[in-house]
Chains A and B, each alone.
Chain A
């Protein structure tokens, strides 16, 4: 019995090591969303204060054009990292970028956009607990979804967008869907 106690650390560690082996074979950033290739769920998010004529983000707004839906929040550190790139891609006019201000106070969400720049066409607010975005398949921020002309989610990117991600993954998919 006492001997078994001394084996406990190695047993716990073995379990952890197995977990890590499994963890290495999974990519935490590339989990296919359950909603891939399915239509955007019904939602009608209110607009962010102080964005002029923006009426928020609803399901019907995502039909007719290929669009990129970006999940952000003023509390999200990594969002700051991707934001300058979003600004750049937004200016290029390749694809409209919509924002969902997730689990956030709208006032802070608006202040954050003022501070870092506003790349978005439309912004919908989904305050805590952020159910609408979860229905969308969001697991954290930042995340970005490519939605096609018919309002069907085609791709989900987890984590900040970098030029590499943009050029190698997102842009080719967008171009393909725009054909």
Chain B
């Protein structure tokens, strides 16, 4: 009965969304306030219905109602509660329901927080938001109903893939979707602006925090997925350039570009039509990702159970949403008023260069992801595009960007002084060069790859350059006594920028070190035998069978010693789940600043009377997580900036004028 309520609520939500997509738009065109006023209550109602549907499916999972086919296929009574709940979105139908729930939540947020928005812009954006909702609700109801019943219901479910029964992965999809769907906000407002034919600073001031929020969630989602891959796949890798990883990375790149170009719109009233285009592209990439993952056009380890009907439907959605928007853009954008002009060497100029590099990066990732499909369609044969392509094309694009990230924030608006900025950074350059050479020397010169020195130099340049910028902003050298006070008064968005840019520097160190110096030992280890890896002695002490809630584990006990002294015990497991019966390795990881000791237990090897073990030392991996954490922290702090607060647009506008005076 509750499942039927959920299904019915979805149908009601579709009806509401249809009204919300049409009536306010016509009202805005005719200037009829009463028609425009439909948008807000409709968005609230739509959210309410979709939330009811989501609650109904969650209820079916929590109570293990196996008469619902979706639950029977993806859940099991023995599963821990966390994974019963996570099971709601651990499958195609449920994840779409999560998608649409978040979309409705964002639409409702416009109504809740957008009191100061111009009514025309707001109701048009809500209408666009509702159009997306109509598309996805139809998709769910026509091809992917999560509430379909099963007759007769099975005694127990077939269980969630044990690889997915993991806290990292339980929260990975919601974060990812908050990011993907969050970009719908920028998209809806971009379309609304095109319809109105006007983009101004108030537009950017509204769109930027939402883009930033989406970006923060997307960053979190991607890194959670990466972290999960690192500790569950059991070989120490954390990024594989898999099509689905790329699908989440492309909107991230476009979103990062959008964040930065929106600053130029807000502060300088320039780059308007470019920013609109980016807003469409960022959400377009999110939709493209949905298409690639669920249509089966590309083969990927992540692919959901695919069905050609679904592929056709999403393609149709994609064409309508993205093709339609680009069409509208081609018609309306040329007529949009150009904003202020600026010299190439200026803050705007460097933000533009950032945009060019990020967009080119996104385009190369797109090309690499689609190339197998292109080759196949043109009968050029079957090809796979792997890490070598991405590493050799994408990374060289990102290196100058990281180098520029230290310089850009120090440039003045309108007309910057590049020579002056570089002069202020000359000590940083010297230290970076020294650090690069030191790293090169420590790794034994050409005993390691050539790019380690370059990577470290780049990281030091960016990290230190960012700190120098901060020090100058608070006058640490000129007036140290007042520096603390100035630091406290610095806008939070500046702090956010500093933290995020510093985070990238930290990330580069993790990236470089882990790619260059990973140590790996694979062998059959007898009980009591010690193997050295990364300067640690790893001794296998025992292997026992330990029962878990829904699995049986072989748990190995390793004693870790350093310089002959025992410092720790590590216990990796090899688990065999009961439902579905699959073996999963759970690595034991001992993290430190220098790197992770990563221990995996394999099967017993009776011939040699021992166990296969894989021991890794992965240098600087925690720096990756720390760098990503700083990005998220920086984004969040920037989000708390005064001018983004609820109702801030008008006040911030006045403040901005005062600041300029």
Contact = CB atoms under 8 A, between A and B. Distances in A.
B330 A10 contact: yes
B605 A28 contact: no
B532 interface: no
Interface stretch (A14-22, A119-127, A144-152): A14-22
Interface stretch (A54-62, A65-73, A108-116, A165-173): A108-116
A9 interface: yes
A161 to B, nearest CB: 14
B322 interface: yes
Interface in B551-601: 581-583, 585
Given A9-B277, A19-B374, A23-B297, A114 B318 contact: no
B374 A13 contact: no
Interface stretch (B59-67, B165-173, B307-315, B392-400): B307-315
Given A6-B330, A84-B582, A114-B524, A139 B382 contact: yes
Interface in A81-118: 81, 84, 107-108, 111, 114-117
B319 interface: yes
Contacts, number: 104
A69 B258 CA distance: 49
A163 B372 CA distance: 27
A28 to B, nearest CB: 5
B491 interface: no
B323 A2 contact: no
Nearest to A29: B299
A24 B602 contact: no
B377 A26 contact: yes
Interface residues of A, number: 37
B641 to A, nearest CB: 31
Nearest to B580: A84
- Which label, helix, strand, loop or mixed, suits the secondary structure of the A interface? helix
B318 A3 contact: no
Contacts of B315: 17, 20-21, 24
Interface residues of B, number: 49
Given A28-B376, A84-B583, A13 B322 contact: yes
Interface in B288-340: 291, 295-299, 301, 308, 311-312, 315, 318-319, 322-323, 326-327, 329-330, 333-334
B15 interface: no
A145 to B, nearest CB: 15
B522 interface: yes
Given A19-B370, A108-B522, A111-B612, A9 B330 contact: yes
A77 B233 contact: yes
Contact of A28 (B296, B312, B612): B296
A19 B366 CA distance: 13
A17 B602 contact: no
Contacts of A107: 522
Contacts of A21: 315
Given A13-B326, A22-B377, A24-B311, A6 B333 contact: yes
B384 interface: yes
A139 B384 CA distance: 8
A39 interface: no
A9 B291 contact: no
Contact of A23 (B318, B322, B326, B377): B377
Given A13-B322, A114-B603, A117-B603, A24 B277 contact: no
Contacts of B318: 17, 20
A24 B298 CA distance: 10
Contacts of A139: 382, 384
B82 to A, nearest CB: 23
B334 A6 contact: yes
Given A9-B330, A111-B614, A115-B602, A31 B233 contact: no
B50 interface: no
Contacts of B376: 23, 26, 28, 31
Nearest to A52: B607
A115 B382 contact: no
A114 B602 contact: yes
Contacts of A115: 585, 602-603, 612, 614
B373 interface: yes
A114 B326 contact: no
A2 B334 contact: yes
Given A9-B277, A19-B370, A114-B602, A28 B326 contact: no
Interface of A: 2-3, 6-7, 9-10, 13-14, 16-17, 19-24, 26-29, 31, 50, 77-78, 81, 84, 107-108, 111, 114-117, 139-140, 158-159
9 contacts: A6-B333, A19-B374, A23-B377, A26-B297, A28-B296, A28-B298, A111-B523, A115-B603, A140-B299
Which 3 pairs show the lowest CB-CB distances between chains A and B? A115-B602, A10-B326, A23-B297
